[in-house]
Amino acid sequence: MAFIIICSDVLDTRQIESSVSTHANGAVCTFVGQIRNHSRGKDVEYIEYQAHVALAEKELNRLAVEAETRWPVTVAISHRLGRVNVGEASVVVSVGSPHRSEAFAACQYCIDTLKVTVPIWKREVGPDGAIWIEGDESVRAGTD
């Protein structure tokens, strides 16, 4: 039973962890992705996240179910949209499991897969302007 959350609020890591922290689980492994103050040699003030929400939900759900099929784990993933400031979390992947090795493996699988398949995009904004990141490419954004 996976938990998927896409929202524009500040992510509450503890709350997300609690959804996979049952008494049967001896391990909870959580990955928190947060906004860095620099990217590609430039200062970053904040990132704006955009998503195809319906499709992103489906993809997150698909990869979480995949992880739960491969390992004896429970997965919770939440991703934030809109403006996220430096130091704030943009994504939280929390995996609960009876033992730690599966929790580590499933957690890494989820975040790695999320980054290449889920339709969410970032627009990095800094003093030099804004840049869209699309896969390995970056595209200078217009001003808003």
Partner 1 sequence: MKRYNFRPSFPADLRIYMLLAKDAQKACENYLAPTQQLQAGSTSAQTGGSRLIGAHMPTSGGLYRSLTLGAEIGCNVVQLFTCSPRQWNHPELKADDVQAFLHARDDTGIDFTVAHDSYLINLAAPSEEILEKSRRAFLMELKRANTLQIKWLVTHMGAHLDQGEDEALARLAQSLRQILEETDKLGYTVGIALETTAGQGTGLGWRFEQLGRILRDVGDHPRLGVCLDTCHVFVAGYDLRSRERYDASIAHFDSTVGIDKLKVLHLNDAKKGLGSRVDRHEHIGFGEIGMEPFGFIVTDPRLMHVPAIVETPDSDTMHEVNVRRLRHMSEGGGPYAEVTVSLFGHYSELSKGEPVTLKLPCCTTLKDALVELGALNDELKNIGDHCRFAVNDEFCELTAQLVDGCAVAVIPPVSGG
When asked if residue 29 is in the footprint of partner 1 (CB under 8 A), the reply is no
When asked if residue 49 is in the footprint of partner 1 (CB under 8 A), the reply is yes
Residue 106 CB coordination number (10 Å)? 25
Enter the tokens of residue 140. Answer: 């200078």
Q: How far is the CB of 121 from partner 1 (least distance, A)?
A: 5
When asked if residue 10 is in the footprint of partner 1 (CB under 8 A), the reply is no
DSSP secondary structure code for residue 14 in this structure: H
Q: The sheet that has 120-126: what strands, in order across it? A: 82-85, 46-51, 120-126, 129-134, 137-140
Of the residues 28, 71, 122, 125, which one makes contact with partner 1 according to CB under 8 A: 122
When asked if residue 35 is in the footprint of partner 1 (CB under 8 A), the reply is no
Q: Which of residues 78-107 bind partner 1 (CB under 8 A)?
A: 79, 81-83, 90-91
Stretch that binds partner 1, among 2-10, 21-29, 98-106 (CB under 8 A): 2-10
Three-class secondary structure of residue 44 per DSSP: coil
Q: Which residues of 1-18 are buried (b: 16+ CB within 10 A; e: fewer)?
A: ebbbbbeeeebeeeebbe
Positions touching partner 1 (CB under 8 A) are 1-5, 7-9, 33, 48-58, 61, 64-65, 68, 79, 81-83, 90-91, 111, 114-122, 132-137, 139, 141-142
